[in-house]
Structure 1
């Protein structure tokens, strides 16, 4: 019997996990071990039904009803590691649980055509639901504030309000599906609809790395360039308020400038790059 081939919506990117690229992201995570542990535990509780059932039967006389919404909201400034954490943790789950996972990354579902935005949101959730009939699914929505935009304004277009209503309805309907887990990211929390925020189990805030975390990140990024510990500590002090992405860009610029001079990367190259690249602004 032939099966009907599903057509992936144009705003979705599909990746089968485990994946080497995603796995590499997991090892690049710095200073977020407590956050990662919390995410991995929650993901396993939501997606590993067998593990949850075993725990429930062990501690209770009957199977406990799960009230989990199977969704997390990541908040933080751009470059603080929200996206690579989502991808890295999803890949780590697939590897450690020996369970293939389909990672669906949502692009921009909003459309300039009336009624199309709601249709696009529905198409995303319908596709995720169809995949979940056979496999685990992690649905990842970056810049979530553009989709779950607050309706607390008199200037909102009816089409946008309809899109948010559709989003809320489908998020609620997927909460009973044990094969779907939703991760949404935003750096503009104030723009997210209040009713939409209530559909997440909890939110996780991604902060800028502290001095020790910056030192750890710089040590990893500069490990092949013969920098001593004192130089790295000085660079960590100079990059206060920088995000992980900012610091990565600093090192990349220092390497690029050294290459242009046909010289080894020095502390001067690093200092110049720090001067040229300013820390990313705060989110609201």
Structure 2
């Protein structure tokens, strides 16, 4: 059966605006004006500007309350601009309904250069092998995120994770957000530096505004030394003082960021500016895994590998001394697996492990730096 342009438009509207039963209420919906995307150039697209965000939110809820929304779908106006489309950029949680408590934000593509997205994960804290001290701190954070009002000024707000790459810093943050079912906004610090003066500060404030609107939530800033470098090193990368100032404002709690926990990560804590480092109430080191921890990691990985491994986990744990958890998976086991596949072998044997180790050593001639 052939369908016309108007048929497609009608079908899309029905699929988007169809009411469904769900108990999930959206905490946040981010929209952008999309005009008339299914009617080509037949209708002139008006420019939509919103000066009063609260008024737009009330207007949106009045016509879309109860609608199921998911990222990438559309909502259609039926009041001031009939059939005008708004594209859904973000929903938390995804595929949930607009309710009385939903925060609805309209952004302009030019103004909103960075759309901070929630990172979803099915990891559990038990999936992280080792790093017991960090896990204990996560228990405190979990209690806080479950009931922010109860903690008041005793909240665990700013935590620094530091240690060698691949030791589980990001993995633990993902598992923490999943355990308590709160949004995690994971950003690379380098992405917070804009092209023009004021861009970086604006993006940091936007990030925390979003985290507050969807609180309780976690902001995870990876490679924080990229913006928090000590002043004696700043000449190497230019001045980012306005970015640092904005971050310090958010971390200091001058704005009430209740229900928001900031976790930052770095491989080099000694490079951080003292002004930023002093804001972290606790610094937690992520160490390289012990032999027993390596053995446990290897056992878990082997269970999911597409080829059987003939080398014992105990032997592999001995051979992988000095490797991080990521190295064990990506540099040792995955390289050995791929070598076995290339050689048309049915099992991963000692020769494939030997190949992976030699390959790893060639790329890691310099000894790893250990953290004191």
Q: C-alpha distance in 1, partners of 2:212/2:152?
A: 20
Aligned position for 2:160: 73
CA spacing shift, 1:6–1:244, aligned 2, 3 Å: farther
Tell me how far apart the structure 2 counterparts of residues 124 and 165 of structure 1 sit (CA, whole Å).
10
In structure 1, the partner of 2:328 is 247
> What TM-score results when the alignment is normalised by the length of structure 2?
0.62
Matched, 1:270 2:343: no
Structure 2 partner of 1:15: 118
2:169 paired residue number: 82
- Equivalent residues of 1:26, 1:89 under 8 A apart: yes
The change in CA–CA distance for 1:189 and 1:267 in structure 2 (over 3 A counts) is same
Inter-CA distance 205–10: structure 2 relative to 1 (3 Å threshold):
farther
Instruction: Tell me the distance in 1 between the aligned counterparts of 2:272 and 2:320.
Output: 31
More helix by share: 1
Q: Provide, for residues 208-260 of structure 1, a one-character-per-residue CA deviation record: whole Å limited to 9, x for no partner.
A: 001101111111112355446x7221221111111111100210011101111
In structure 2, the residue matched to 1:61 is none
Contact 2:123 2:178 in 1 (8 A): no
Distance 1:276 1:254 in 2: 10
Give the aligned partner of residue 135 of structure 1.
Answer: 215
What aligned pairs does 1:83-102 form with structure 2 within 5 A after superposition?
A: 83-94=170-181, 101-102=182-183
Deviations 1:92-145 (A, max 9, x none): 121xxxxxx2221223212354x14xx323333334324423532211111110
Q: CA deviation at 1:262?
A: 1.4
| Displacement after TM superposition at 1:181 (Å) | 1.0
Aligned in 2, Cα 1:227/1:138: closer, same or farther, shift over 3 Å?
A: same
Q: Which residue of 2 aligns with 1:110?
A: 193
Deviations 1:2-46 (A, max 9, x none): 255244954454126xx4xx114756421234422322x221243
Contact 2:228 2:272 in 1 (8 A): yes
Aligned-residue offset at 1:147: 1.4
Which consecutive residues of structure 2, in runs of 5 or more, have no partner in the other structure? Answer: 1-57, 61-103
Gaps of 5+ in 1: 54-63, 95-100
What displacement does 1:205 show? 0.5
1:35 aligns with 2:134: yes
* Number of aligned positions between the proteins: 258
Give the aligned CA root-mean-square deviation in angstroms: 2.9
Within 5 A, what are the aligned runs for 1:28-67? 28-39=127-138, 41-49=139-147, 53=150, 66-67=153-154
Q: Greater RCO between the two (CA within 8 Å, min separation 6)? A: 1
